[in-house]
Amino acid sequence: MSVDRPRPLVAGNWKMNGLRMSAKVLGDIQAGYTPGLKAKVDLLVCPPATLLYTFAHISVGSRIAVGGQDCHAKESGAHTGDISAEMLADAGATYVIVGHSERRQFHGEKDADVCAKAVAAHRAGLTAVVCVGETREEREAGKTLNVVKKQLRGSIPVDSNSQNLVVAYEPVWAIGTGLTPTAADVAEVHGLIREELKRLVGKADHGKVRILYGGSVKPSNAAELMAVENVDGALVGGASLVAADFLAIAGAYLT
């Protein structure tokens, strides 16, 4: 890793998985987060909201951050079933994922909705992990770069900086499918994101914003993906539910 690159972040998105007994997985991650690994990479675990307070309590002193998977744009109100950024922060979260493709696809979230949630995250003192990525149809039509550029410009708030923003590129067609783009494809999109960040957070800070790759990241492909220019870590789905796999992905930074 170049000294000019941001400190890597490997984040686990547990999605709708995990019961109270799943705290053991976090304990195993904590036990395997050795001093050598801590020196190289930051870890973030985003469990379902029901486990957030418990995970935040367990992770105290371990340097493992805990985050939410989504938040409402408003601080409070008549929004049955929703959770505010302030509630996440109160439970111990320091990050929140916004704009994940599953929220965009299954809940109809638009770029403006994602931006409003990122604004809420910043209001609550959280770092927003803003997700972008194209569908298979968009990639096959040659629209990947335009789609990602539009999502970035519509989803990232004007007050964003390297302290309150992480960008995650997740090609929708790669999530949970076992398929991954080539290293060259990832480099192209991450290069575009880095250039767009000059416009969105400023030339002085754009190089410090962490850009994660997500989409079927696993121990077998982590080293290759993490070595790509402008890839500053990973947003991991299913593999983050297995402590050994999650740690092995983070361990790509030890080689």
The string of pLDDT tens digits covering residues 45-85 is 999 999 999 999 999 999 999 999 999 999 999 999 999 99
pLDDT in tens, 155-196: 999 999 999 999 999 999 988 888 889 999 999 999 999 999
Sorted by where each begins, the domain ranges of the chain are: 9-254
Indicate the pairing of strand 210-214 with strand 9-13: unpaired
CB 59 within 8 A of CB 66: yes
Does the annotation count 100 as an active-site position? yes
The single residue of 72, 86, 100, 122 carrying the catalytic annotation is 100
3-state secondary structure of 180: coil
The single residue of 122, 170, 196, 206 carrying the catalytic annotation is 170
pTM attached to this predicted model: 0.97
pLDDT at 2: 45
Does the annotation count 170 as an active-site position? yes
For residues 134-143, average pLDDT:
95
pLDDT at 112: 98
CB 64 within 8 A of CB 43: yes
Per the prediction, the chain carries an average pLDDT of: 96
What percent of the chain lies above the pLDDT cut of 90? Answer: 94
Degrees to nearest 5, angle at CA 190 with 124 and 70? 30
Query: For helices 144-155 and 183-201, what crossing angle results, to 10°?
Result: 30
Q: What CATH code would you report for 9-254?
A: 3.20.20.70
Handedness of CA 150, 114, 15, 208 (dihedral sign): positive
pLDDT at 108: 97
